[in-house]
Amino acid sequence: MSNMPIPTILTAAQEFQLSIDEEVAGMLDTNCVIAIGTSGGKDSDASAIQTIHFLNAINHVGPRVLIHADLGGIEHTDSLPQCEQLASFLNLSLLVVRRKQGGLLERWEQRWNGNLGRYRQLLCVTLITPWSSAGMRFCTSELKTSPITQQLTARYPGQQILNVVGIRREESSARAAKPISQEDPKLKRAAGTSGRSWYPILDWKVGEVIALHEREQFPLHYAYTNNGNSRVSCSFCVLSSIADLEASLRDERNHASWHRIVALEAISGFSFQPNRWLADVRPELLTKSEQEAITTAKHRAVERRQAESIIPQHLRFTQGWPTEQPCLSDCALLASVRQTIASLYNFSIEHTTPESIYAHYQSLLQQKTSRKPRTRQIPVLTQAAPMLPFLDKGPASAQ
């Protein structure tokens, strides 16, 4: 146990202006493992520094570690050095974890490649975007949460782990609704390992974060002070404002990842953000072949949406798909749409006739009934997605 009772821990947290609840205080009282997430951004800096001051004040003597999830080429160049500087400042070890199959750029390319395979085999009804989104943040779950929890549970088997995360309610409506802490089921293991996520600076305002950096004389990330970014996550985030996208492009070191994203926009025909093509943020940086490829992609996007718009709702993908056997006239409609998409993207597909589609649905539904799900081996990329034929003259950065 710590040298302070739980009520004293709660009072001490207030003195350090940290949000805390009794569950967190109870874990601190047992000198649990403290794992502090750091991205290089100002909030994770502030969260780490103030939390360590607080832990010292309550005489916490359990293990402490900083942990950073490296997202690969889409990271700002200075993010890892910023995390290393923070570790040195706090005299803590820094764990750096990575997704084994590659970074976020690779994940988007792999997703597009996999979705193409699914479409060709009629395992989905419409083409699917390669990008993550506000409602589908696999970028966070697969590249941050999963590698971090795997590393922590392997490193601290059978222990209680308090996962410290520097998010603030001021940032978004979703974060405004966050509790002070919550159980983290991904940290639970049969060996007795368990964990909780704690958001100690949840109620801080941005001015308080900046003031802490000034008071501690700890420098802000390069992207804030030199590029003008308002937040530091990925150099190009699907949730970024236009101002932050423009700021990231002021750093030439981010241009390679920008060209790679633009190449995937061109290949897929899906804009990086729902209402914005990343290529349009700095079109003067595009090569001639990139300009031509993006122009083609925009036309293709319009034609794809028009073709897919005639698919009735009852045929579209939903949980448990397929849920019904389509009639031959529905199958004829799907065949027509699929042939249009295949021609538009210049790739081959299976199930091109009404009869083939009807039989395919029959087979899928029979498999559901017999509880023997059909499995298909869809190739997964570990590097960049292959260029499709229509982009043979496209941007070299996609290679």
pLDDT digits (tens, 9 = 90+) for 31-86: 999 999 999 999 999 999 999 999 999 999 999 999 999 999 999 999 999 999 99
**Cβ atoms 62, 34 nearer than 8 A:** yes
In a domain, 244, yes or no: no
Q: Which domain holds residue 139?
A: 6-101+133-223
Residue 354 falls inside a structural domain: no
CA 302/CA 391 separation, integer angstroms: 18
Residue 370 lies in a domain: no
The answer to whether residue 292 is domain-embedded is no
Domain membership of residue 301 (yes or no) is no
CA distance 163 to 199: 9
Give the CATH number of the domain where residue 77 resides: 3.40.50.620
What is the C-alpha separation between 183 and 49, in angstroms, rounded? Answer: 23
Assess if residue 201 is contained within a domain. yes
The pLDDT assigned to 392 comes to 36
Whether residue 172 is contained in a domain is answered as yes
Query: pTM for this structure?
Result: 0.89
pLDDT recorded at residue 70: 97
Mean pLDDT of 209-216: 98
The predicted pLDDT at position 393 comes to 34
User: What total of structural domains would you count in the chain?
Assistant: 1
| C-beta neighbour count of 53 within 10 angstroms | 14
358-387: burial string, b at 16+ Cβ within 10 Å, e else: bebbeebeeeeeeeeeeeeeeeebeebbeb
* Predicted local distance difference test score (pLDDT) of residue 369: 87
What tens digit of pLDDT does each residue of 96-122 get? 999 999 999 999 999 999 999 999 999
Examine residue 90 and state whether it is found in any structural domain, yes or no. yes
